[in-house]
Chains A and B, each alone.
Chain A
C-alpha cells in the first residue's frame, strides 16, 4: 500500500514534470510502474540530449511561443542540412550534381533583338549610322557639359568631375538658354556631344546626351551619384591621360547603339600609361558607370582603385535627331509595366538590352 501511494505520488509529480516539458519531450503513455517511468525518464533524457525528436504527428508550427518555435525550426533546418551533406558525401561520385540557383540572368528568355557579332545587317547599319564618322576616325570627340537652369552646388561639382573624367570636355553655365538655340552654336564650334544634366531638388537626376551633328539623343535617369570626396578608399584625382573604356553587356540592338554612343564620348586611342579605365556596365537595364585606376600585379591579378565619380543610368528614351522633345521621332521610349505581378516572361520585354 505504501509503495502504491508512493508510486502514485511519484507518478503525479512526474506527470507534472512531463506536462511542463511536453513540448520538448516525447509524449508517451504514462506507465503506472515505477521502473518503467524511470526507464522512460532516462529515455527521454537521452532523446533530449541527442536532439529534439518528435512523433510523426508533431510539427514545429504547433508551438505557440515564437522564440521557441524559431529556435526549434532552426535546429530542424540544421539537422536537415547535415543529413543532406552526409548523404552527399556517402554517395561520393554518384551524387547528383549540385543544383544551380535560379537567378534573373539565368531565367531570361532569349531576346530576339540580341546582336550577333557577325550579323551583316547590323554591321551595315553601323557602317552608315551617325557614329560611323567617329568609328572611322574622322572626328575627335569634344563634349559640352551643361546643366538645367540654376544648378545647385552638387550638380555643379558633378559636372566639373565629369569634365575631368571625359577628355576634351568643357563645362558651361546654362544661363537660361534654350537648347534648340544652343545646338547650332555647338555644331558650329565643332562639338560632337552635348550633355545636359538635369537637376531636381538640388540633386542631379537626369542626363540628356545628344550626339551633335545630327545624332541621336538619349535621355537617361541618373541615380546614386557619388562625388569624389564621398568615395571610400579612393585614389588621387584622375590625370589628363585618355582612359580606356569598358562596355559590358550591351548585347541587344538597342543596347548596341547605346554602347556606341558611350564609346564615341572618348577619344580613340587610350593612353595605357595613364592606367585609367572608365566602365559602363549594363545589368538588368541599369547602366553603372565607374572610373578606376588599375595596376597589374602579375599576369593573373589586377588591382583596381576607384577614382572619379560614380553614378547609375537608366535609359528613358532614345530619339532620332538632335534634341526636340515635341516633334522628335522616338526610337524607343521606356514604358512602365502596368502589371505589378513579376513573372519571368515579362522580363523579356523589360530588359530591352541585355
Chain B
C-alpha cells in the first residue's frame, strides 16, 4: 500500500519535510500528531502506516489512530477514541485499542498519557491558588503622574497649611485650657512648680498630664528636643500682657535657663530641627506669671 520506506527516504534525509525543525544537535517534528516530537524513522506520522497518538483537548484525552486505508482522505484518516478520565482505566483502554500494535507505539502512547494527566492536575491546582495578575504600567502615564505629583506638592504648601490648621484649632479652642496664650505665658512646666492655687485644680486633667509631662518631658525631651524648643521657656508673645514675676520663680527660671543654655550650646552644632524663628539664641528671658490672686482669668472663652 503505502511505501513507508520510500516516504521516509525522501522526507527524512534527502529532501524537504515542512514539519521538520533542525537544531544543532537534534531534529524535531512539528506535526501535531507526532507522538514523541522528534523527527525519527519510528515517530514520523507520515512515514508510518501504523501510527497512534494521544492528544488532549479541553481537559479530555483522546487516542488517535491512523487508518491507512483512508490515506486518500486525509481529513478522515485519524480515528478518535475518547479515553476515560480515570488514569488507570485510560491505560487499559489504550491497551485494548492498540492490542496487536508494535510495542513502541503502545509504550509511547501511555507515556504521553501520563504526562498529559500530570500537567492537567497541576493546572487545576494552580487555578485554586492565588493568581498574581500583572498590570502593565504605561511609561508615559507614569512619567506624567510623577510630574504632576511634584507640581501638586509645590502647590500644596504643606507646612503652611498644617500650621494654619493648627492655629485655627487653637483659636477655636479644641485644645481647651492646655495653652493659655491670650493672657498668660505658655510655660506650663514652670508654672506648675510654683503654683499651688485652685486654678490648677480647675484644669486638673490637663494639669495632671502636663504636670507629669513636666518630669517626663525632661527625660523624653532630651537635649536635642530642648535645643529644638529652646524658645519654649522664653516666650514673649507680642500681644501678651506683662505681669510681675515672682522672685523665686525668676531665680528658678534663671537656673534652668542657664542649664538649658549650656546644653544648647553644647549641642549647637548644626542642630536646627525646627523652623527658622526658633533657631535664634536669645539673650534674655521674659516670662509672665499669673499671680495667685487671679485665678479667674485662666478660663478661656471657648
Whether A298 contacts B232 by the Cβ 8 Å rule is no
Chain A residues whose CB sits within 8 angstroms of the CB of B275 once the complex forms: 303-304
With a cutoff of 8 Å between Cβ atoms, the chain B residues found around residue A223 in the complex are 146, 149
Residues from 141 to 185 in B contacting A, C-beta threshold 8 Å: 141, 145-146, 148-149, 151-153, 155-156, 158-159, 161-163, 165-167, 169-171, 175-176, 178-179, 181-182
Among A103, A283, A292, A336, which residue has its beta carbon within 8 angstroms of that of B153?
A283
Q: B170 touching A299 by the CB < 8 A rule? A: yes
For A292, what are the chain B residues with a Cβ–Cβ distance below 8 Å? 162
B237 at interface, CB cutoff 8 A: yes
Given contacts A279-B158, A296-B179, contact A288 B153 (CB under 8 A): yes
Interface centre among B158, B170, B171, B236 (most CB of A within 10 A): B158
Query: A284 at interface (Cβ–Cβ under 8 A)?
Result: yes
Pick out which of these stretches binds chain A: B56-64, B103-111, B218-226. Answer: B218-226
The answer, among A105, A239, A299, A325, for a CB contact under 8 Å with B182, is: A299
Q: Is the interface of B mostly helix, strand, loop or mixed?
A: helix
Residues in B24-77 with C-beta less than 8 Å from chain A? none
Residues B273 and A281 in contact, CB atoms below 8 Å apart: no
User: Nearest Cβ distance between residue B129 and chain A, in whole angstroms?
Assistant: 8
B273 touches A233 (CB 8 A): yes
Determine if B175 and A297 form an interchain contact, defined as CB atoms under 8 angstroms apart: no
Q: Given A284-B152, A297-B235, A299-B170, do A304 and B182 touch, yes or no (CB 8 Å)?
A: no
Q: Within 8 Å of chain A (Cβ to Cβ): is B272? A: yes
Closest to B221 in A: A236
In the complex formed, the residue of A with least CB distance to B153 is A288
Judged by a CB distance under 8 angstroms, whether A73 is at the interface is no
Is B285 part of the binding interface, using a Cβ–Cβ cutoff of 8 Å? no
Q: Is B209 an interface residue (CB 8 A)?
A: yes
- From known contacts A284-B155, A297-B278, infer whether A236 and B170 are also in contact, taking CB-CB under 8 Å: no
> What is the interface size of chain A, counting residues whose CB is below 8 A from a CB of the partner?
44
CA distance A325 to B159 in the complex (A): 37
Q: Which residue in A104, A233, A271, A296 is a CB contact (below 8 Å) of B155? A: A104
CA distance A236 to B227 in the complex (A): 12
Query: Which of A281, A303, A305 is the one whose CB lies under 8 Å from B161?
Result: A281
Number of A-B contacts defined by CB within 8 Å: 130
Partner of B162, one of A236, A246, A297, A298: A246
Does B248 belong to the interface (CB within 8 Å)? Answer: no
A116 to B35, CA, bound (A): 73
**Contact status B167-A300, CB under 8 Å:** yes
User: Across the interface, which residues of B come within 8 angstroms of A312, CB to CB?
Assistant: 149, 153
Number of interface residues of B (CB under 8 A): 55
Chain A proximity of B206: nearest CB distance (Å): 8
> How distant is A341 from chain B, measured CB to nearest CB, in Å?
12
Residues of A near B272 (CB, < 8 A) are: 233
Flag whether A91 is at the interface (Cβ < 8 A): no
Q: Is the CB of A296 within 8 A of B153?
A: no
Instruction: State the Cβ distance, A32 to closest chain B Cβ, in Å.
Output: 62
**A303 to B167 CA separation, bound complex (whole angstroms):** 10
Contacts of A301 in B (CB 8 A): 277
Instruction: Tell me if A272 is interfacial: C-beta within 8 Å of chain B.
Output: yes
Q: Is B191 an interface residue (CB 8 A)?
A: no
- Which residue of chain A is the closest to B141 with respect to CB atoms? A336
The answer to whether B148 and A286 have CB atoms under 8 Å apart is yes
Q: Which one of A288, A296, A325, A336 contacts B170 once the chains associate, using CB atoms below 8 Å?
A: A296
Which B residues touch A300, using CB under 8 A?
Answer: 167, 237-239
A277 with B162: CB separation less than 8 A: yes
Q: Does any Cβ of A come within 8 Å of B95's Cβ? A: no
Q: Is B242 an interface residue (CB 8 A)?
A: no
Judge whether A281 and B186 touch: CB under 8 Å. no
Q: Which residues of A contact B (CB under 8 A)?
A: 103-105, 176, 178, 223-224, 233-236, 239, 244, 246, 248, 271-273, 277, 279, 281, 283-286, 288, 290, 292, 294-305, 312, 314, 325, 336
What 8 A-B pairs are tightest by C-beta distance, nearest first?
A299-B181, A298-B237, A283-B156, A284-B152, A283-B152, A286-B152, A273-B209, A233-B273
Known: A279-B165, A296-B179. 8 other contacts (CB 8 A): A103-B155, A105-B155, A178-B130, A281-B156, A281-B158, A292-B162, A297-B277, A298-B236
